[in-house]
Chains A and B, each alone.
Chain A
Amino acid sequence: MNSIIPLQNIDIDYNELVQSDRAHTSLYKDEKIFDDEMEKIYYNSWVWVAHASEIPEGGSYKTMNIGKQPVVVVRDRKKKVHVLLNRCRHRAATVCEHKKGKTNSFVCPYHGWSYALDGSLRGVPSPESYGECLDKSELPLVSLRVEEYNGMIFASFNHDVEPLEDFLGAAKKWIDLFMKQGAGYPVKVLGEHRFTFPGNWKIQLENTTDAYHFPLVHKSFLSSVDEKTEELFNFDNQPGYVEDLGNGHSVMVMIPELVDLEEELMERPIQERFEDLAQALRDEGHEELQVRRIVRAVGGSGFNLNLFPNIACSMAFFRVMQPISVDKTEIHHSVITMDGGPQIANQYRLRLHEHFQGPFGFGTPDDAEAWERVQKGADAGNDLWIMLNRGLPGEVKTEDGLKSDVSAETGMRAAYQQWKKLMTA
C-alpha cells in the first residue's frame, strides 16, 4: 500500500505530496487537505481582497469571501480600509448581503445591533435588559490585518504575518508595470465576470501561468482575431519566459515587447486592430504621444503576474480566485478601465474583455471545459501524480528566482513550493 495516500485520521505528510517536479493527485480531491488549506493558507497568509477603485469613497464597501468566511471590505470616512468578518457579534447573522454599495453603518437585520464603518459596535436596541453585562467595546466586528500596495488591497487573519511588501517582494515591480495600463489615468475596476467550474482551485492557479495550453484550448479565439493579433498571441515565436519570483509568485511573459507599456511609444507602429481607435483619439484632440500611450494600454500588458494564493494581474484584467469546496471554484475576471479616460478607449477595453472572458466569452468556456476535465480525470488513478516538470532542463537562476522558457511549468512549481511551505509550517 502506498503510504503517501492520505487516509482519514492520519496526519498527512505534505512534504511527500509535493515534490520538486510533481504534485500528488490527492491535492485536487481530498477534503481534509482542502480544510487544511483554508486554515494554513487562506486564514494565515496574505489574501487579495480588492482594488482600491472598488471602494473609492468613505462608506464604499464590497463583500466577498476569504476562504469560506464572508467579509466586508469597507473604507471609513478617514479613507482607511477595514476588512471585517461579516458576522454580527450577537447571534452571528451577516450584517451585509449586498455585493457592493455605500453606507453609513452596518446594521444587523436580526436584532438591530449597529456597527460603525471601522467595525466598532455603536448601539444595541433596548440595552436595559443587559444591565452591566454588555461591554460594547468588547464586541466589534472582527477586524483583519489590512495592507495595500499600489492600489492592491490585501488582508490577513494572521496579525503577525510578515509585512505585505516583504511578502510581495520581487512581484512589486511587476505590479507597478501592470498599473501602467491606466495610461496616466487612475486604474479603475468597472465590473467583473463571475463564473464557477467544478474543479479544485489549484487547477486554475496553474492555468494563469500556463502558456502551453493557449494555442490548443484557445484555437477558436485565435481564429476570431485578425492575423497580426494571432501572430502576437503566438507566444512560441517570441523570447518569452516564466520566472519564479519567490513566495509562490511568478510572472509569465508572453509578449516581451509589451512588458513596459510606455517603452518606445513613438518608435513602434500602432497595432492594426487599434488604428480606428487611434484615429478617433486624434480626432478628439489628444497629442500623438498620448494617443499611443492610451492605445498601447488598451491592448493590455504582455504578461500574467500570478500572486499566491488568489489573485493574478493577467494581461488586461484581474483574475480573482475563490475556493468554494475541494471540487468547486469561483473565478472573477475584473475588467480594468481608465478612470476619467476617453470613453471610446474604455469601450474598446470592455469589448476586448467580453470577447475572451466570462461564461459567454470566446476563451473562458474552453478553459472551464479543460479544468472540469482535469477534475474528472483526477478521479482515475489515486496514486498518480500531476506532472510539473516542463521546462526544468532549461531553468536558470536569476536575481529574483528561477527562469525558464515561456511554456515552462516554473510558475506552477513556484506555487506548489509555497503551498508546501505553508502547509508544513
Chain B
Amino acid sequence: MKIDLNLLNEVTAFIWAEADMLDHYEHEEWLKLWNETGVYIIPIDPALTDYENNLNYAYDNHHMRQLRVNRLDNGEAISTSPKANTVRSVSRVRIVKDDGDEIILRCAQNLREFRKQNLKHYTADVTFHLIRDTEQGFKINRKIINLVNSTDTLAGISYIL
C-alpha cells in the first residue's frame, strides 16, 4: 500500500477546518465549502445506499443546507435555545479513491454534545467526496455521516453533524 502523504495532509487539513467551523457555529463559512450540487446525507440504514430513494435523517441539497443554517442561527427553534456545545475529533483518515477529479475519503468522527444537563456522544464513520477547487483547495461534493447507532432511536439533534 502506497500512501500519498501530501494529499493525505491536504485533505485532512481541509476536513479538520470543516469540523472546527461546525463546532464554532461558523455556518456561513461552512456553506462556502460546498459544491453547489453537493449533498449532505445522514442515512438511517447503512445498507440502503440509494439515498435519494430511501428515507434518511437528512438529505440536504444546497437549498436545504441554507435553510438548515438559517434555522440553527435565527433563534426561532426552541431546541436551539440554549444551543448545544459540541466538540468533535476527526481521525483515521484514509483516501479510498483518487481519480484526479474526485477524491473519496473515509474518516472517524467522535462528537461530544453538551446541552442543558446532558452530555451525549455520537460516533460516526464519515465519507467525503471532494473535488479540487483552485481557490480553496477542495469543495465538498458529498458528505455521508454513518452514525454507528443510526438504526437505533436517537434524540433530537439541533446542530450540524
Which of A's residues lie within 8 Å of B, judged by CB? 99, 190-197, 217, 219-221, 223-224, 330, 335, 343, 346-347, 350-351, 353-355, 358-360, 362, 364-366, 368-370
For B8, list chain A residues within 8 Å (CB).
none
Q: Kindly list the 3 A-B residue pairs having the minimum CB-CB distance in the complex, ordered from nearest.
A: A365-B156, A191-B55, A220-B77
Across the interface, which residues of B come within 8 angstroms of A196, CB to CB? 153-155
Pick the contact of A354: B59, B71, B78 (CB < 8 A): B59
- In the bound complex, do residue A354 and residue B155 qualify as a contact, i.e. CB atoms below 8 Å apart? no
In the complex with contacts A217-B78, A224-B71, A191-B158 CB distance below 8 A? no
Residues of B within 8 A of A343 (CB): 53
- The answer to whether B57 and A223 touch across the interface, beta carbons within 8 angstroms, is no
Q: How far is the CA of A330 from the CA of B153 in the complex (A)?
A: 8
Task: Considering the complex, give the chain A residue whose CB is closest to the CB of B67.
Answer: A224
Min CB gap B110→A, angstroms: 18
* Interchain residue pairs with CB less than 8 A apart (7): A190-B54, A191-B44, A194-B152, A221-B71, A343-B53, A362-B68, A365-B79
Q: By the criterion CB–CB under 8 Å, are B153 and A194 in contact? A: yes
| A-B contacts, CB under 8 A, total | 92
Q: Which residues of A contact B80 (CB under 8 A)?
A: 220
Q: How far is the CA of A359 from the CA of B149 in the complex (A)?
A: 13
Inter-chain CA distance A354–B74, complex, in Å, is: 20
CB-CB < 8 A to B48: which residues of A? 191
Give A220 to B158 CA distance when docked, in angstroms: 12
- Counting chain B CB atoms within 10 Å of each CB, the highest count among A195, A221, A343, A360 belongs to A360
The distance in angstroms between the C-alpha atoms of A354 and B58, with both chains bound, is 6
B76 proximity list for chain A (CB < 8 A): 219-220, 223
Expressed in whole angstroms, the minimum distance between the Cβ of B72 and any Cβ of chain A is: 9
With A and B bound together, what is the CA distance between A355 and B57 in angstroms?
A: 9
Chain B residues near A194: list those with CB within 8 A: 152-154
Once bound together, how far apart are the Cα atoms of A224 and B65, in whole Å? 11
Contact check, A354 vs B53: say whether CB atoms are below 8 A apart: no
Interchain CA distance A195-B53 in the complex, whole Å: 22
Point out residues on B near A: beta carbons under 8 Å: 42, 44-45, 48, 52-59, 64, 67-68, 70-71, 74, 76-80, 151-158, 161
Contact between B53 and A192, CB atoms less than 8 A apart: no
Residues of chain B lying within 8 A (CB to CB) of residue A346: 53
**Assembled-state Cα–Cα distance A362/B60 (Å):** 12
- Evaluate whether A360 and B58 lie within 8 angstroms (CB atoms) in the complex, with A224-B70, A355-B64, A365-B79 already known: yes
In the bound assembly, the distance between CA atoms of A368 and B157 in angstroms comes to 10
Q: Contacts A350-B55, A350-B59, A354-B57 known; A195 to B153 CB distance under 8 Å?
A: yes
CB distance from B45 to the nearest CB of A (A): 7
A368 touches B155 (CB 8 A): yes
Shortest Cβ distance from A53 into chain B, in angstroms? 14
In the bound complex, CA of A403 to CA of B71 (Å) = 35
Known: A196-B154, A365-B156. 6 other contacts (CB 8 A): A220-B71, A223-B71, A359-B156, A360-B57, A366-B78, A368-B79
User: Are the C-beta atoms of B158 and A365 separated by less than 8 Å?
Assistant: yes
Chain A residues with CB below 8 A from B45, complex form: 191
B156 touches A369 (CB 8 A): yes
- Known A217-B78, A223-B71, A366-B77: A195·B156 in contact at CB below 8 Å: yes
A221 to chain B, nearest CB (A): 8
CB-CB < 8 A to A191: which residues of B? Answer: 44-45, 48, 54-55
B55 touches A197 (CB 8 A): no
Asked whether, in the complex, the Cβ of A362 is within 8 Å of the Cβ of B156, the reply is: no
Known contacts A193-B55, A347-B53, A354-B58; decide if A359 and B157 are in contact (CB<8 Å).
Answer: yes
In the assembled complex, which residues on chain B have CB atoms less than 8 Å from the CB atom of A358? 57
Please give the distance in Å from A235's CB to the nearest CB on chain B. 18
- A167 vs B154: C-alpha distance in the bound complex, in angstroms? 33
Min Cβ gap A163→B in Å is 33
Would A335 and B155 count as touching, CB distance under 8 A? Answer: no
- Chain A residue nearest to B48 in the complex (CB): A191
CB distance from B161 to the nearest CB of A (A): 8
The answer to whether residues A365 and B77 also contact, given A195-B154, A223-B71 and a CB cut-off of 8 A, is: yes
Contact of B77 with A360 in the complex, beta carbons under 8 Å: no
Q: Please, which residue of chain A has its CB at the minimum distance from the CB of B75?
A: A220
A346→B52 CA distance, assembly (Å)? 10
User: What CA separation (Å) do A384 and B57 show in the bound complex?
Assistant: 38
Report the bound CA distance from A330 to B155 in whole Å: 10
Q: A221 to B154, alpha carbons, bound, how many Å?
A: 20
Cβ of A369 to closest chain B Cβ, rounded Å: 4
Closest Cβ of chain A: how far from B31's Cβ, in Å? 15
Chain B residues near A224: list those with CB within 8 A.
67, 70-71
- A369 close to B78 (CB less than 8 A): yes
Query: Smallest Cβ distance from B146 to chain A, in angstroms?
Result: 14
